[in-house]
């Protein structure tokens, strides 16, 4: 059993990121049994949930003439335009039905502000608005985090980079993650995580 100071953070294992969902990650559902088993080894477990208003600015549908996966410019920088996904309260925003949620002490929702996306579990995409997770972990004495979930190259990657930047010791267990892998994003994410001192296990 890992000590309380080592948290398992399960990123966005939601229906919309699994096959059949609005922003399906290939084999996204394949991580569920392994993550469920992994939870037994951690006393501190946090889940994250992508949680967008129906008119979220990251949705291509809000940008006339634009298609999903195209880039746009937001006030805070470049932003991928996504299909509508993880709309607050919708079936697609629910956790995968087989994911264990009982072991988690905290479920953190992100991306709830209409005009700012949030890939990371720690900071929104403006890179400055905190989600509150850092404070939660620090006040619980967490020093080390293991990250798993969806998608390796977006929300797991951004969360890992922020966690490392905040001084946590970070491991990403890639066998419990799956990637979108759009235009080289997985290779870029791996390189960035390694450069930030994240252990890819
Ligand atoms: C994610 C794209 C948009 C993710 C969330 O969980 O990786 N990707 N929203
Ligand atoms: Zn999203």
Query: Whole-angstrom Cα distance, residue 173 to residue 69?
Result: 26
| pLDDT in the model for residue 147 | 98
- Ligand 1, from 81, 154, 180, 193: best to mutate by most atoms within 8 Å of Cβ? 154
Query: Whole-angstrom Cα distance, residue 15 to residue 22?
Result: 8
CA angle (200, 124, 84) in 5-degree steps: 95
Query: Whole-angstrom Cα distance, residue 106 to residue 71?
Result: 32
List pLDDT tens digits, range 4-41.
999 999 999 999 999 999 999 999 999 999 999 999 99
| pLDDT in the model for residue 49 | 98
Q: Provide the terminal-to-terminal Cα distance of the chain, rounded to the nearest Å.
A: 18
- Ligand 1, from 28, 113, 151, 182: best to mutate by most atoms within 8 Å of Cβ? 151
| pLDDT in the model for residue 186 | 98
Q: Is 110 a catalytic residue?
A: yes
| pLDDT in the model for residue 82 | 97
| Ligand 1 pocket member 24 (CB < 6 A) | no
Global confidence as pTM: 0.97
List pLDDT tens digits, range 159-172.
999 999 999 999 99
| Ligand 1 pocket member 150 (CB < 6 A) | yes
Helix residue ranges, H only, 4-156: 32-38, 133-139
| pLDDT in the model for residue 195 | 98
Query: Whole-angstrom Cα distance, residue 193 to residue 23?
Result: 23
| pLDDT in the model for residue 61 | 97
* Average of per-residue pLDDT across 149-163: 98
List pLDDT tens digits, range 45-96.
999 999 999 999 999 999 999 999 999 999 999 999 999 999 999 999 999 9
Ligand positioned closest to the Cα atom of 25:
1
**How far, in Å, from the CA of 39 to the mean position of ligand 1?**
22
Residue 78 preceded by cis peptide, ω within 30: no
Helix residue ranges, H only, 9-150: 32-38, 133-139
Give the CB-side neighbour count of residue 170, counting CA atoms within 13 A: 24
Residue having the nearest C-alpha atom to atom 1 of ligand 1: 155
Using CA of residue 134, residue 198, residue 154, residue 105, what is the dihedral sign?
negative
* Average of per-residue pLDDT across 122-145: 97
Ligand positioned closest to the Cα atom of 12:
1
């Amino acid at each position: 059993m890992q000590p309380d100071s080592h948290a398992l953070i399960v990123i966005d294992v939601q229906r919309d990121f699994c096959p059949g969902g609005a922003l399906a990650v290939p084999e996204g559902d394949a991580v569920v049994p392994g993550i469920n088993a992994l939870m037994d080894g951690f006393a501190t477990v946090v889940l994250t949930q992508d949680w967008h208003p129906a008119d979220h600015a990251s949705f291509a549908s809000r940008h006339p003439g634009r298609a999903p996966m195209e880039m746009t410019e937001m006030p805070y920088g470049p932003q991928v335009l996504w299909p509508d996904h993880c709309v607050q309260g919708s079936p697609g925003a629910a956790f995968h039905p087989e994911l264990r949620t009982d072991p988690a002490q905290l479920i953190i929702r992100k991306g709830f502000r209409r005009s700012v996306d949030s890939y990371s579990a720690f900071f929104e995409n403006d890179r400055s608005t905190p989600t509150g997770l850092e404070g939660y972990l620090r006040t619980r004495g967490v020093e080390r985090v293991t990250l798993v979930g969806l998608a390796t190259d977006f929300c797991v990657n951004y969360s890992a980079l922020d966690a490392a930047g905040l001084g946590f010791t970070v491991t990403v267990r890639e066998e419990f993650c799956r990637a979108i892998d759009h235009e080289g994003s997985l290779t870029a994410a791996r390189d960035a995580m390694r450069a930030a001192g994240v252990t890819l296990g």
